[in-house]
Structure 1
Amino acid sequence: MGRHPQPEIRRTLLAACTDHVLAHGLPSGLAPLARAAGTTPRMLVYHFGTRDRLLLEVLQEARERQLRFFRQALAPRSEPYAQTLARAWGVLTGPQGAPFLRLFGALYHAPEGEVPWPDFRRAATTDWLGVLEEGLRPHYGERAPALATAVLAVVRGLLMDADATGDTARADAAFAAFVGLLGES
């Protein structure tokens, strides 16, 4: 008689593997994930079926964590949304946000066939539009959807710039200048 599924063990393994991937990036094999989870590659395959399935679930779990964290930073408050955006930039690019930016930045720019998550780029773009629109709508009305796209493009562009050059001070100053323009409209 075979073993019965144990969802609590699976959840614990997924959490440990996700923590490892956020700290170290996607591994080329299962051994680093198994070590991080205190198990064997064979047990990971038992619980997740395949390496690709495990990696997909790890990425989805990491993405859920990122969405919760970033949405909290971007959520509208009782202040002008330009101030919320300025504060959120520091949170998103700070120590808590950095693991997400590293992991998903690498995924976003990886060749399509190397990403174990079909349609990741589209999801990574559209995930943020709703919360940005919600914050911008009270002040910008019907322009909020277009402005949300512009804000997202500026954020993504400055993140790529900082990643490519290492000049985070310049990216921070550019975002502050951009937010200043939003506050003036």
Structure 2
Amino acid sequence: MGRHKQPEIRDRILDACVDHALAHGLPDRLEPLAAASGTSTRMLIYHFGTRDALLRETLGRARRRQRDFFGELVSPRPDEPYPSTLRRAWQVMTGPAGRPYLSMFGRLREDAEQQLWPGFRRESTTDWLQPLEDGMRSIGRPELGTLVLAVIRGLIMDIEATGDASRADQAFDDFLAALAPITTRETDSVDFGRSPPDP
């Protein structure tokens, strides 16, 4: 009689594979993932079937981690103007905590064949739209979510291509400064330091 697969062991292995892939990229062979998860290539095949199946699950779980992490960053906060939330989110996304996700999924987006995740380019273009629309809705302008998403994605691609994070940071600050006059018309004037209107 064959052994029953143990979901908790499989789950632990997958988390270790995700940690390794975020730190070092997706490997061409199973051996690095086996070493990172403290098991053997034979056991990886036992639990996941094939190398590509393991890589797909690794990418899927990494993406869920990123969605939870970044989604929390861009969520509106009642005690903070949303442009300030966006500035802090940008700093974390492009900083040490966020860069592994950007590197992993930047490479996947550039993969011409898209074999591991068909349709990833389309999905990755729209999956942050709803959280940003919700954030911009907090200041009465949900339709600007697409604009904010386009700026963030474009500047991230700029950093990946040039490595010039300082210039991208300045560009994002300039964008938020340009956005402020639009948002102040829809928010409490006290949030942005204006004097309240006369009664």
Unaligned ranges ≥5, structure 2 = 183-199
Aligned partner of 1:150 in structure 2 is: 147
2:12 maps to amino acid: T
Q: Could you state the TM-score of these two structures normalised by the residue count of structure 1?
A: 0.94
1:35 maps to amino acid: A
Find the residue that maps to 1:28 and give its secondary structure.
coil
Aligned partner of 1:80 in structure 2 is: 81
Aligned partner of 2:19 in structure 1 is: 19
Matched-pair contact (CA < 8 Å) for 1:107–1:115: no
Find the residue that maps to 1:140 and give its secondary structure.
coil
1:88 maps to amino acid: A
Matched-pair contact (CA < 8 Å) for 2:76–2:138: no
Aligned-residue Cα RMSD (Å) equals: 1.1
Aligned partners of 2:31, 2:138: CA distance in 1, in Å?
50
Aligned partner of 1:119 in structure 2 is: 119
1:4-54, Cα deviation, whole Å (9 max, x unpaired): 011011001000001000000011111111111111111101000111111
- Shift in Å, 1:87: 0.9
Matched-pair contact (CA < 8 Å) for 2:114–2:120: no
Is residue 52 from structure 1 mapped to residue 52 from structure 2 by the alignment?
A: yes
Aligned partners of 1:137, 1:114: CA distance in 2, in Å?
34
Aligned partners of 1:163, 1:115: CA distance in 2, in Å?
22
Question: Is the radius of gyration larger for structure 1 or structure 2?
Answer: 2
Aligned partner of 2:161 in structure 1 is: 164
Aligned partner of 1:89 in structure 2 is: 90
Find the residue that maps to 1:139 and give its secondary structure.
coil
Aligned partners of 2:122, 2:10: CA distance in 1, in Å?
28
Aligned partner of 1:110 in structure 2 is: 111
Find the residue that maps to 1:95 and give its secondary structure.
coil
Aligned partners of 1:166, 1:138: CA distance in 2, in Å?
33
1:64 maps to amino acid: R
Q: Could you state the TM-score of these two structures normalised by the residue count of structure 2?
A: 0.88
Aligned partners of 2:82, 2:178: CA distance in 1, in Å?
12
Which of the two has greater helix per residue?
1
Aligned partner of 2:100 in structure 1 is: 99
Find the residue that maps to 2:96 and give its secondary structure.
coil
1:125-163, Cα deviation, whole Å (9 max, x unpaired): 11101110001013234xx23x11111111111111112
